[in-house]
Structure 1
């Protein structure tokens, strides 16, 4: 299928020349654009074209059909009902499925635990099933799901993805689900044949609530083949050990990876709370050990679900974890209220009138655990902010040599603006590629971050208002309001507007070119924040925005603070 071949080649997020794509799809180069129009809408907008090369702005969970692994026999299917079904049917036909892996690009009847559906659009989820024949009895395989979850988690961590496990076998980032596991067994020829189904969100699903993805969680860019191979390598070691010795060798490592170890949880059955208590650990048979008011009990996975108190709609949930985050710019203060890791409200005001901050503090300040900020505004304005937040200590953070796995190459972090640093930390929520981060405020900063998390530094130039004031004060006959943007201005007012915008766009594009050369031609994203962000994005050449991912993000400093607090 030509379209499938085209997508599979481009899924690696690398540039491919149209002659290569034409040969693979058996199409003429001039017919590729018509073929591309047949792609699903959620993929169509990811394409960038430049100098005869095509490239997607991010990888997709699609593997070439000839992908192989040294320890497993792989089949890559474009579409099937369920990768689990393929192996289960093979067992029923008497075929050997031991160490056979089926990867499905699309499932028409995917399923998860407790009969739930598992849905994803093409390229969004890495879905595969593994066949394995055990020498143990079926009753002794209860902890197989936990061993599989641990192998997946360890593989992700080795690739730079800080994920955890929610008992028994969900891969999670905080409260958001990254992946799941479904194990089905068949007894045939006096042996137990297990089919281990694994689904890992590769791109953030737009239609699923409380979901995480490899692209949103991992700092570095990861390709689907890397992830699949890393998981299979772990399972190549874990499955024989489990077959020989059970869950005991994995027990300590699992408890270390378990998100809820030592926490208060609720166990639900068919939507009703059956047990509440503190997690003591996981036993050698994989059951959850819970300390309740009635004493210690063991909970088997079965048809149960585990929830944290803050996830329950009813009941005595503990107070939420709440922060106030501050972005002290040169002329304005921005702030955000955060609850359980999510921004619930934002606002901003000039320093001359911070009444809104004080009013919100009186309304929402109860229960705030920390007030954390990044400031470039100076101590006088920091004192003005503190006056609006009585009886609380503000933690003003500065730039750092390292943070969230990012190395800061600025010669003296003490001289590096905190806003620039936290913009960089915040950018990782929106790009795993190399990126140019532009902040359009009183000053315009243009900074460079590599895909492997090296902050290289950047430039500072006057913002739009400072440029206008400088021209008005230092140049005769230019004390006038800027006009509108035109490619070739023919009035002085329009020339002022065009000159200021060209300066900012030119600085952005020059930094982009430098970074792309530094990174060997890899994709370089652009993230723009600040009051002038939308205006700058509109002024960029159309071809530049087609060739590159350009995102506008409000409150990028706040996202950086949120990322930093989340890791801390």
Structure 2
């Protein structure tokens, strides 16, 4: 796929409402347009919304990523949603939530036939190009802290519509005549996968955390790469990404020794030389 299709219908609200009625512990708020689904979900959380609310924008006009990066896609081309959760895990485990989200989004896309992997900490790649971005934010509410899990997945963009050359879409990545899933299917499959992974992580204790770490590492495209880690202030370091530690930090072997960096400590992690 290299160009835009002639027709991009809105999300099927009736089909989605019927599907969400059958999904346990999830509820849907579908908006024709929103600046940021994370912002709307945060407002709902502060107003007392229960865990499991999914805010979906048919068209998101001012999406946000890490470090307040912004992005927008043409109407009808992407899946943008925010899932509101109220984690009961220990605060020390919260840094794993963005990694879990990226991992489960990639898992859902693999089930749809794509060779999806996660770039540490939570970008989702297909053919080494970014197909989905994740932003997880902690929000303080009268009922305790909530996590707003936001995701944007490029479904039907053509090459000439991509924001950057390193991005892709499910339409572009479809090979050998594979049918591109519609946005409703992508939304339902991804949300269900994230909720299932989150519930298992919450309920499983240390054993579940260990399984998540192992599964994440096995599907992380960053591990084994020579990388350049750009740090705040303009500094950087290079080395081999060898692992993700129990706290979700990337382990990098450099000429000066082993370094561990958290998602909040870095500006970019890229293959060395790029």
TM-score normalised over the length of structure 1: 0.43
2:199 equivalent in structure 1: 240
* 1:273 CA drift (Å): 4.3
- CA distance in 1: counterparts of 2:9 and 2:68, whole angstroms: 24
1:216 and 2:172 are equivalent in the alignment: yes
- CA distance in 2: counterparts of 1:310 and 1:123, whole angstroms: 36
1:74 equivalent in structure 2: 28
CA deviation string 1:399-458 (max 9, x = no partner): xxxxxxxxxxxxxxxxxxxxxxxxxxxxxxxxxxxxxxxxxxxxxxxxxxxxxxxxxxxx
2:12 equivalent in structure 1: 64
- CA distance in 1: counterparts of 2:195 and 2:127, whole angstroms: 28
Where 2:240 maps in the other structure, the secondary structure is: strand
Equivalent runs, 1:248-287 vs 2, <5 Å: 248-270=210-232, 272-287=234-249
Equivalent runs, 1:289-300 vs 2, <5 Å: 289-300=251-262
Which of 79, 82, 85 pairs up with 1:129? 82
* 1:207 CA drift (Å): 4.5
- CA distance in 1: counterparts of 2:9 and 2:238, whole angstroms: 38
After the TM superposition, list the runs of 4 or more consecutive aligned residues in structure 1 that deviate by more than 6 angstroms.
Answer: none
Q: Using CA pairs under 8 Å that are at least 6 residues apart, name the structure with larger relative contact order, 1 or 2.
A: 2
1:414 equivalent in structure 2: none
Where 1:134 maps in the other structure, the secondary structure is: coil
2:238–2:272: 8 Å Cα contact kept in structure 1?
no
Where 1:105 maps in the other structure, the secondary structure is: strand
* 1:270 CA drift (Å): 3.9
2:115–2:127: 8 Å Cα contact kept in structure 1?
no
Structure 2 runs not aligned, ≥5 long: none
* 1:189 CA drift (Å): 3.7
* 1:61 CA drift (Å): 7.7
In the alignment of these two chains, the number of paired residues is: 256
1:204–1:211: 8 Å Cα contact kept in structure 2?
no
Which of 187, 190, 195 pairs up with 2:140? 187
CA deviation string 1:121-167 (max 9, x = no partner): 10121101101111124442101011011110010001101121110
Equivalent runs, 1:461-476 vs 2, <5 Å: none
- CA distance in 2: counterparts of 1:150 and 1:258, whole angstroms: 8
1:86 equivalent in structure 2: 40
1:288–1:300: 8 Å Cα contact kept in structure 2?
yes
Cα pair distance change 1:298/1:202, threshold 3 Å: same
Where 2:140 maps in the other structure, the secondary structure is: strand
2:151 equivalent in structure 1: 198
Where 1:208 maps in the other structure, the secondary structure is: coil
Where 1:79 maps in the other structure, the secondary structure is: strand
CA deviation string 1:170-222 (max 9, x = no partner): 01124421110001111234532111000011123515122110111133221
Where 1:225 maps in the other structure, the secondary structure is: helix
TM-score normalised over the length of structure 2: 0.86
2:162–2:168: 8 Å Cα contact kept in structure 1?
no
1:162–1:218: 8 Å Cα contact kept in structure 2?
no
Structure 1 runs not aligned, ≥5 long: 1-41, 48-55, 312-568
* 1:81 CA drift (Å): 1.7
Cα pair distance change 1:132/1:159, threshold 3 Å: same
2:124–2:131: 8 Å Cα contact kept in structure 1?
yes
- CA distance in 2: counterparts of 1:86 and 1:116, whole angstroms: 18
Cα pair distance change 1:149/1:296, threshold 3 Å: same
1:61–1:124: 8 Å Cα contact kept in structure 2?
no
Structure with the greater alpha carbon radius of gyration: 1
